[in-house]
Structure 1
């Protein structure tokens, strides 16, 4: 068992187990006990008999938002990996890399966009009626700043004007045909949204450190 450096209050634990079957065989004899240390991780192996061979590798790492420990156990014909993740529950957050999870104020996503300098993107979201969708699901939105959205809108406006002039010249104004080489507002919004909650500390890997593994 690995103890996380987080206090138990408001900490959620996720445990994932994966078992794989292999064709490994062991022809060794006698007993062998070994312990290897690789930086912040440890690898231990014990061979008790030709029919029983067990090796175990465990490592832990932490970032500003979570603490993850992975233990892989190999024995003849089977590999088992257990990953335990400790992180603050929804609505709580670690502040200043302290071990305590503190409650934070949750705001509507569209309101938060405006506070982060994405007022124009917020208007685009509302214009395509996607505000309720973003609020009702667990999503991560990468909000472009106002300057980027205005540039996008200017390029669409210029492109539409150019095509309209060309159709007038070609007497093809009413054809309704258009080869779209740009994203529509709804597609633009969707291109900045991914399912699930993504922690930017995990994406950038900043502040990540390895911890010595501990066996009990």
Structure 2
């Protein structure tokens, strides 16, 4: 009996020693896992911060992109409209220059003819014929001058004829034909008076 009690006591002592021997190892393993978890948590935090930074950068880029697209649309409309207006303006300027060149040639021709007429040097026999030609030339020159003045009245060159005006939107040469028609009607109305005046002058010179 005493021998059994002693044996049991020794067994209990060895069990306590085993528990004491294994306890530090368990503690170290727990600390290691805790540190690993802490490191992993810090890594996840860094990843989250990195993702947040990239998200903010992407939002900033998208904001800049939207701003550019808006500016692009606005500038495209402005520049397109300006290019169209410039092309139209250049075309009208070229047309005006061509018309002015033709007008100058025409006027120079009329001027040359009119300056060559010298009624004082005409004989009585040739006076009637010369006056007919001279009157016809003068009427033609006056007619073409008025046509040119009406044509350029809504253009920059209208100032040449003392009729410069600000260009109206949509203004064209359509009003020229109306003006010319009115001028010709007036000329037709006054032509008999001019003819009678010419005849009276001839009769006076022949006396």
Both proteins in one fold, TM over 0.5: no
Quick one: higher RCO (CA 8 Å, sep 6+), 1 or 2? Answer: 1
Q: Of Structure 1 and Structure 2, which has the larger fraction of its residues in strand? A: 1
Classify the TM-score, shorter chain.
Answer: under 0.3
Q: Of Structure 1 and Structure 2, which has the larger fraction of its residues in helix? A: 2
Instruction: Output the TM-score relative to the length of structure 1.
Output: 0.20
Instruction: Output the TM-score relative to the length of structure 2.
Output: 0.21
